Amino acid sequence: MVIEVSKELDVVRIGIDRYSLKTGCNLRSIMDVSLRVIKEPRGFIRIIQCVMAILAFSTTAGFSAECKFTIECASDKPNGIKEVEYEFGYPFSNTKLSVPRSCEHLEDPLVDLELPYDLSNASEFFVATGVISFLYTLVILVVYIFFHQTYTNNTKIPVVDLGMTTMLTVFWMGGSSAWAQGVADLKSYLHPDTVFKFLIICTSNDEAKACRTDEDGSFGLLNGSLILGFANFILWAFSLWFIYKETVFHTPEVSDPSENQTTKPVGRV
């Protein structure tokens, strides 16, 4: 194996001479490693996109919160206070809690209740966009670094890169907008004050004295995921220009000068 390193350490070329001699395949022309692209905006932005995508989908997929409220029955009831806790998290569907049937049955086994809210579509699309973006940035960085000559010489690869970047930009815009509405619905629908509407023990004035919210959950992590989502959209939209510059749409293929030359007619003497 021969490794050639330039004096500036910008370009590293890897050639496998023994394999080339045995198979006749010139790997130098296939694999040509270049670290120079990392210093260019096209490659540097990809690294930032990779990190931002991980942060965006991990803050959503790893989120969970706990809410707590207290049911206070009439003062003439023994042990008339009951605390209820319920937890919810990604993908934000099938949220369940256990509550007493009535103030007369506080000591009886609790009744399981499932809230009729399913917010999984927006959250799953947002996480899927982050995962796909993360995987794509890894793949395209491998192409940039290990096959930069192929990327430069093949006019189709930059066009595919531009198309994928455009698609993921649209995904980030749509996913972040949908998830912003999803977070707003999540804060509203899963708040204990909304849950009270589904509890007979809380809505019946003659049985319960009060249903009081003790803890309504912390949504700081989800607010951060929204900021990361729209930041990803801006970042991917910004990178479109640098990908576009590598395509034939920005720099058309230069035709052979010999084809443009015309033969001067020979005049009569």
Please give the share of the chain, as a percent, with pLDDT higher than 70: 75
- Please state, in angstroms and rounded to a whole number, the distance separating the CA atoms of residues 231 and 237: 10
pLDDT digits (tens, 9 = 90+) for 54-96: 999 999 998 888 888 888 876 555 567 788 888 888 988 888 8
- Please state, in angstroms and rounded to a whole number, the distance separating the CA atoms of residues 162 and 240: 7
Provide the H-helix boundaries in 27-92: 27-30, 36-39, 41-61
Q: What angle do CA 66, 64, 57 make, to 5 degrees?
A: 160
In this prediction the pTM is: 0.76
Reported residue count of the chain is 269
- Please state, in angstroms and rounded to a whole number, the distance separating the CA atoms of residues 86 and 89: 11
- Please state, in angstroms and rounded to a whole number, the distance separating the CA atoms of residues 48 and 72: 52
- Give residue 205's pLDDT: 63
